[in-house]
Amino acid sequence: MRCIAVLGGSFDPIHCAHVALVRLAVGELQPETVRVMPAGNPWQKQGLQASGADRIEMARLAFQVTALPVTIDDREVRRTTPTYTIDTLRELRRELGPDASIVFLLGADQLQRLHTWREWHRLFDFAHLFAVSRPGCPTDAGHVDAAVAEEFARRKAAPADLRATPHGLACVSGALAIDISATDIRAAAASGAPLDKLVPGPVLDYIQQHHLYKKI
């Protein structure tokens, strides 16, 4: 069975925690590929600072120096309508067929807001959900909406089970030992603080060369 992992996000900018999340997921799930998918017009995030083209290029640069099986999927940036994960997963399922394992990767902050997503409970009809906690952003039941926690408990499975079935399961992985947010990176860039420990080297070069996140 093919296993395709999907990591969506605004990636404004993509940073080292995103790369670490993909590396962890690859190690546990062994997918054929991870589709990194910058959001085009995410309905819960307004005023993205970098353009879609810039965010796509930064995502490409972040993984070009790794051996991770990553492809950049720009479908959401090409959309002219608001971005909803449920629509993207429906589209992917149509493309990949009923038998492929699709695993949607979630950071802890996304899991904590999952109950606010459009048709969140139907995500399981098209994919598995694989959540990863991080320092200061736990994924236990006390920090996640009760309905989401109940659904994850009911569908709880090991990474091997996600790889062996098409959709419908949930897994929460151990914490990443890295705590970085794009908000902090944008603030650091605007203040002139160093970013070399926050974003991959090629991404830092791109930010500096294109004068992104500077105060106007």
Name residue 51's amino acid: S
Which residues 6+ apart lie within 8 Å of 49 measured at CB? 12, 186, 212, 213
* Position 133 pLDDT exceeds 90: no
Please provide the average confidence, as pLDDT, over all residues in the chain. 92
- pLDDT, one tens digit per residue, over 97-120 is 999 999 999 998 899 999 999 999
Would you tell me how many other CB atoms lie within 10 Å of the CB of residue 26? Answer: 18
* Position 44 pLDDT exceeds 70: no
* Position 79 pLDDT exceeds 60: yes
| pLDDT reported for residue 138 | 66
| pLDDT reported for residue 187 | 93
| pLDDT reported for residue 137 | 72
- pLDDT, one tens digit per residue, over 192-206 is 999 999 999 999 999
* Position 65 pLDDT exceeds 80: yes
- pLDDT, one tens digit per residue, over 81-101 is 888 999 999 999 999 999 999
Strand partners, 4: 33, 102
pTM, 2 dp = 0.94
- pLDDT, one tens digit per residue, over 167-188 is 999 999 877 888 888 999 999 9
In 3D space, the residue among 191, 196, 164 whose CA is nearest the CA of residue 180 turns out to be 196
Using H for helix, E for strand and C for coil, what is the string for 160-175? Answer: HHHHHCCCCCEEEECC
| pLDDT reported for residue 45 | 59
* Position 216 pLDDT exceeds 70: no
Name residue 165's amino acid: T
Domains contained in the chain, CATH given = 3-209 (3.40.50.620)
Q: Rounded to an integer, what distance in angstroms lies between the CA atom of residue 101 and that of residue 23? A: 18
Band (pLDDT 50/70/90 cuts) for residue 142 is confident
Band (pLDDT 50/70/90 cuts) for residue 42 is low
